[in-house]
Amino acid sequence: MKNKEGILIIGAGGVSTVATVKSAMNIDTFKNITLASRTLSKCAQIKDIVKDKTGVDIEIAQIDADDTNAVIELINKLNPKVVLNVALPYQDLTIMDACSATGTHYIDTANYEHPDEAKFEYKLQWERNNDFESKGLTALLGSGFDPGVTGVFVKYIEENYLDTIEYIDIMDCNAGDHGYKFATNFNPEINLREVSANGRYFENGKWIETTPLEIRVDWDYPEVGVKASYLLYHEELESLAKNIKGVKRIRFFMTFGDSYISHMNCLQNVGMLGIEPVMHKGVEIIPIEFLKTLLPDPASLGSRTKGLTNIGCVCEGLKDGVRKKYYIYNVCNHEECYRETASQAVSYTTGVPAMIGTKLVYNGTWDLKGARNVEEFESQTYMDELMTQGLPWKVIEMGI
């Protein structure tokens, strides 16, 4: 069999646009790029953006990634070394299975969810560890920003600043303004399912559940200012609780404006966030899927969005017996992201790390085998790549 070479990117939405442009900027590593998705015309649009921004020609293909055999067939035809999955979390398992069946490394940015149940966890992906490990393959799970960079940030603090990390708060702020009364910055269905779910955090070995948006803090984000931030459950909490030894508490907070929250509450109260089918004039519809067709496509927000994002981690623990607290974060500017990749900062902050994870697995720098989360690898090379690929970061020491 010919040596495996090149990458296959699956999914052609907002995150994919950035990941594909950035991969093209790293074509010396990847050699060739194929972008495949359910709707071929969306791949064609991204192909044009990539050509315009980088001068690189990519290949495109149509694929229904819910069909494992179809993905196997495509992988066998193209023979890529790595598959980057930036479709939806619903496709994680089918694409993972196609990768392990064909001897191909796998990367994604979000953990598996079943379309009929608003619940996400790593269980089914971690259960595929042996499928990858036994074949000398890596499945890198969650290499976006959160999950992704947040896990690498925590690992970097553990490797360089603290002997043990006891408390982690992940702080995610999008202070961008797209001018719409209500829109979501990434896939509306995934976004609204996440935000309208109960909150949860890890403390002293237990998971503590809250009602949706019950816990609020007003946090001062560097370069952005004070923003209301709400506790949510987020998937990196599960892997960090497992992988960061000695951690006592991990929480995740995200900013939401009053307008977003009142629209979301209203939509929830009238049943528009439902995932069960309802009959409408003799036709079965799923409310949240119908809502998605009404809302602006996140990929279209790029040209309208102004302002900054700031995502980072506050880590508190002990260094040589002394209590210390560090804040490590990245600030991103929506308009600059748009100029570079024709996408807003939420897609940018996810797509750049998706490419970086793919690059480190592709070139063998990150070579742990099996189904792994980012914080299981050494952090320095990823941190260096963030600096040079468009997501520079800072560490500041905070008072206790």
- Given the complex with ligand NDP, which of 208 and 295 has the nearer CB atom? 295
258, burial (CB in 10 Å: exposed 0-12, middle 13-18, buried 19+): exposed
Q: Does 357 bind ligand NDP (CB under 6 A)?
A: no
- Given the complex with ligand NDP, which of 84 and 224 has the nearer CB atom? 84
Least Å distance between CB 216 and ligand NDP?
A: 22
The closest alpha carbon to 84, from 372, 361, 298, belongs to 361
Task: Mark residues 189-228: x for contact with ligand NDP by CB under 6 A, - for none.
Answer: -x--------------------------------------
For CA atoms 129, 132, 133, 138, the dihedral sign is negative
d(CA 242, CA 121): 13
- Given the complex with ligand NDP, which of 162 and 254 has the nearer CB atom? 254
Per-residue b/e over 356-391, b at no fewer than 16 CB within 10 Å? Answer: bbbbbbbeeebeeebbbbbbbbebebbbebbeebbb
d(CA 8, CA 42): 15
Out of 6, 7, 9, 16, point to the residue binding ligand NDP (CB under 6 A). Answer: 16
Task: Mark residues 299-338: x for contact with ligand NDP by CB under 6 A, - for none.
Answer: x---------------------------------------
- Helix axes of 92-102 and 68-78: crossing angle, nearest 10 degrees: 40
Please tell me what DSSP assigns to residue 64. Answer: -
For 236, list phi and psi in degrees, rounded to 5. -70, -15
- Given the complex with ligand NDP, which of 49 and 318 has the nearer CB atom? 49
Least Å distance between CB 328 and ligand NDP?
A: 16
Sole window of 10-18, 220-228, 278-286, 373-381 interacting with ligand NDP (rule: CB under 6 A): 10-18
Instruction: Look up residue 121 and give its two tokens.
Output: 């966890």
Q: Does 11 bind ligand NDP (CB under 6 A)?
A: yes
- Given the complex with ligand NDP, which of 144 and 370 has the nearer CB atom? 144
Sole window of 4-12, 248-256, 321-329, 331-339 interacting with ligand NDP (rule: CB under 6 A): 4-12
Least Å distance between CB 352 and ligand NDP?
A: 10
The closest alpha carbon to 150, from 17, 16, 359, 314, belongs to 314
Q: Does 39 bind ligand NDP (CB under 6 A)?
A: yes
Least Å distance between CB 13 and ligand NDP?
A: 2
Q: Does 373 bind ligand NDP (CB under 6 A)?
A: no
Instruction: Look up residue 249 and give its two tokens.
Output: 């508490």
Q: Does 148 bind ligand NDP (CB under 6 A)?
A: yes
Least Å distance between CB 373 and ligand NDP?
A: 12
Q: Helix H segments across the chain?
A: 14-25, 27-30, 40-54, 68-78, 92-102, 123-126, 129-133, 149-160, 188-195, 236-243, 258-269, 287-294, 334-341, 345-362, 380-389
Q: Does 7 bind ligand NDP (CB under 6 A)?
A: no
Out of 25, 34, 42, 125, point to the residue binding ligand NDP (CB under 6 A). Answer: 42
- Given the complex with ligand NDP, which of 14 and 199 has the nearer CB atom? 14
Q: How many residues does the chain have?
A: 400
Name the residues that contact ligand NDP, by CB under 6 A.
Answer: 10-16, 37-39, 42, 63-66, 86-89, 91, 109-110, 144-148, 186-187, 190, 298-299, 350
